[in-house]
Amino acid sequence: MLVRSLLPEVPADNTLTVDGQTLTHAGLYSAAAALAARLTGSGPVAVIAHPTLDTVVAVVAAQHAGVPVVPVPPDSGPAELTHILTDSRATLLLGSTSDPPVPGFETMPIRTDGPPAPATPAAPGDTALILYTSGTTGAPKGAELSSRAIAADLDALAEAWQWTPEDTLAHGLPLYHVHGLVLGVLGALRTGCRLVHTGRPLPARYAAAGATLYFGVPTVWSRMVASPACARALRPARLLVSGSAALPGPVFAGLRALTGHRPVERYGMTETLITVSARADGPRLPGCVGTALAGVETRVVPEPGHAVGELQVRGNTLFNGYAHRGAATQESFSRDGWFRTGDAATIDADGVHRILGRMKSDLIKSGGFRIGAGEVEDALLTHPAVHEVAVLGRPHSDLGEEIVAFVVADRVTADALISHVATTLSNHKRPRQVVFLDALPRNQMGKVQKHRLG
């Protein structure tokens, strides 16, 4: 059976297009089997994950050969690339001849001109992918994901989103993260739907894809809203999905006005895959990420006297652990076996989750109140002069922490923005300081890197 029961043994009668190049599902399986003959018996295989069909072939080939695959960002700096390769203990590095050399590692070109290899049996619980975290709190860690966890997650999402072989999925997300690779490629293969990967997530390319299902991150959707003609081209779609960071309220409203769709928001982490999502047949509310998926349990562990607390999850989508980091794996779980996400959240009586941000940087403790940075950010974004904003807490001798807003805006004063928040939210939630910037620091998935703000 192909790819440890993760993908159908018989390929769907459909196509995958990546940046203009197309293969049928059957053609992909055949190419992967040929490449797998060169990988069988190796240890983890790293793949420089360019947005190309070669990357998809390499990922499927490694799974066909029964070895873990380690997707590597193609723009990794030398130190990051060396860390990922050594930490994962990769034995092979697959890439193109144009990729820069890595000292100590030979890059093997992705070739599919040999005889096919038989699929190598492997237990569903074995590690299938090693995906590296963003490393915002230290060196990136490799999250080991099994084919069983990936399959469970994709099946739960297919049920929640009514995702079928009749869909055409379009996105332009990186092929080295959960959103772009697991959901956006393996999800299309598992459901058997057509895939159009746009190479880059540009509004014009999304508009031209003619899809029923679109995946994007908030930066992508913000750019779509800023390109009204492209956004209107998505009206015939069935579902727009947003993830990887909170979707600002004004962007949600803009998508609804231009496309006619309320976007589905979902929540997850590299270590847990997607655990919570709005449903295709359920309510989609701005600022909310829906309910727990089938097979997933969630809970909020609050501090005494407060409804807000850390979101913890357990279920069949969780990772096997961090590669070669037993202590870090153990520390990421509670004593009774729940994964500690580190995110602040609330869950209402209907099971609807609202993510307020990271416990350490986005849950601000000011004057005895617990304030979610995201709530203040959404309030600031309703001001017409504001384009981007990030809110965090700074130590304060009297309040404990004071609210500081880092803002990208046109011709507006700090006092005007502080007053604007005070007319929208409770007075204690207004920023005490506003810092104007030309741009916010972001990673490749569009997430604001708050640790880089002073």
pLDDT at 137 over 70: no
Say which residue, 451 or 173, is predicted with more confidence. 173
Tell me the mean pLDDT in the region 122-148. 84
- Region of poorest pLDDT, from 127-141, 200-214, 296-310, 428-442: 127-141
Question: Is 351 domain-assigned?
Answer: no
Question: Going by C-beta distance under 8 Å and a sequence separation of 6 or more, which residues neighbour residue 201?
Answer: 171, 172, 173, 216, 217, 219, 220, 223
CATH number of 374's domain: 3.30.300.30
Structure tokens at 408: 């990208």
The model carries a pTM of 0.86
Which candidate, 392, 382, 440, 391, places its Cα nearest to that of 412?
382
Asked whether 152 and 179 are in contact (CB, 8 A), the reply is no
Tell me the mean pLDDT in the region 113-134. 84
Cα distance between residue 380 and residue 424, in whole Å: 9
Tell me the mean pLDDT in the region 65-86. 89
Say which residue, 78 or 144, is predicted with more confidence. 144
Domain endpoint, select from 160, 184, 208: 184
Per DSSP, 72 falls in state E
What's the pLDDT tens digit per position in 250-305? 899 999 999 999 999 999 999 999 999 999 999 999 989 999 999 999 999 987 66
Question: Is 52 domain-assigned?
Answer: yes
Residue spans of beta strands (DSSP E) within 114-230:
127-132, 142-146, 168-171, 194-197, 213-216
Which candidate, 241, 252, 236, 167, places its Cα nearest to that of 201?
241
Which candidate, 12, 292, 262, 261, places its Cα nearest to that of 157?
292
Residue spans of beta strands (DSSP E) within 63-200:
69-72, 92-95, 107-109, 127-132, 142-146, 168-171, 194-197
- Region of poorest pLDDT, from 26-30, 139-143, 333-337, 370-374: 370-374
Domain endpoint, select from 147, 162, 184: 184
What is the predicted pLDDT for the residue at 1?
40
What's the pLDDT tens digit per position in 227-245? 999 999 999 999 999 998 8
What's the pLDDT tens digit per position in 184-205? 999 999 999 999 999 999 999 9
Instruction: List helix spans (H) across 237-304.
Output: 249-259
Which candidate, 284, 233, 292, places its Cα nearest to that of 267?
292
Question: Is 335 domain-assigned?
Answer: no
Asked whether 421 and 429 are in contact (CB, 8 A), the reply is yes
Asked whether 65 and 42 are in contact (CB, 8 A), the reply is yes
Cα distance between residue 140 and residue 131, in whole Å: 9
pLDDT at 429 over 80: yes
pLDDT at 410 over 60: yes
Question: Please, what is the average pLDDT of the chain?
Answer: 90
Query: With 0-12 CB in 10 A as exposed, 13-18 as middle and 19+ as buried, what is 331?
Result: exposed
Cα distance between residue 40 and residue 45, in whole Å: 10
CATH number of 31's domain: 3.40.50.12780
Cα distance between residue 55 and residue 71, in whole Å: 9
Tell me the mean pLDDT in the region 427-451. 85
pLDDT at 454 over 70: no
At residue 90, the 3 state secondary structure works out as coil
Please state whether 51 falls in left (phi above 0), alpha (psi between -120 and 50) or beta. Answer: beta
- Region of poorest pLDDT, from 127-141, 152-166, 397-411: 127-141
What is the predicted pLDDT for the residue at 3?
46
Asked whether 313 and 291 are in contact (CB, 8 A), the reply is no
Question: Is 286 domain-assigned?
Answer: no
Question: Is 230 domain-assigned?
Answer: no
Asked whether 205 and 198 are in contact (CB, 8 A), the reply is yes
At residue 384, the 3 state secondary structure works out as coil
| Backbone dihedral angles phi then psi of residue 181, each to the nearest 5 degrees | -90, -55
Give me the numbers of helices (H) and strands (E) for the chain, helices first please.
12, 25
Domain endpoint, select from 152, 184, 216: 184
pLDDT at 168 over 50: yes
Confidence of residue 153 (pLDDT cuts 50, 70, 90): very high
Question: Going by C-beta distance under 8 Å and a sequence separation of 6 or more, which residues neighbour residue 432?
Answer: 396, 399, 402, 403, 404, 418
Q: Tell me the residue range of the domain where 46 lies.
A: 2-184
Question: Is 163 domain-assigned?
Answer: yes
pLDDT at 171 over 50: yes
Residue type, 145: L
Number of domains in the chain: 2
Confidence of residue 20 (pLDDT cuts 50, 70, 90): very high
Tell me the mean pLDDT in the region 38-56. 93
What is the predicted pLDDT for the residue at 36?
92
What is the predicted pLDDT for the residue at 300?
94
Asked whether 101 and 75 are in contact (CB, 8 A), the reply is no
The dihedral through the CA atoms of 419, 420, 421, 425 has a sign that is: positive
Percent of the chain with pLDDT over 70: 96
Confidence of residue 442 (pLDDT cuts 50, 70, 90): confident
Which candidate, 175, 181, 146, places its Cα nearest to that of 317?
146
Instruction: List helix spans (H) across 6-146.
Output: 25-36, 53-64, 78-88
Question: Is 400 domain-assigned?
Answer: yes
Question: Is 345 domain-assigned?
Answer: no
Percent of the chain with pLDDT over 90: 67
Asked whether 53 and 156 are in contact (CB, 8 A), the reply is no
What's the pLDDT tens digit per position in 330-348? 999 999 999 999 998 999 9
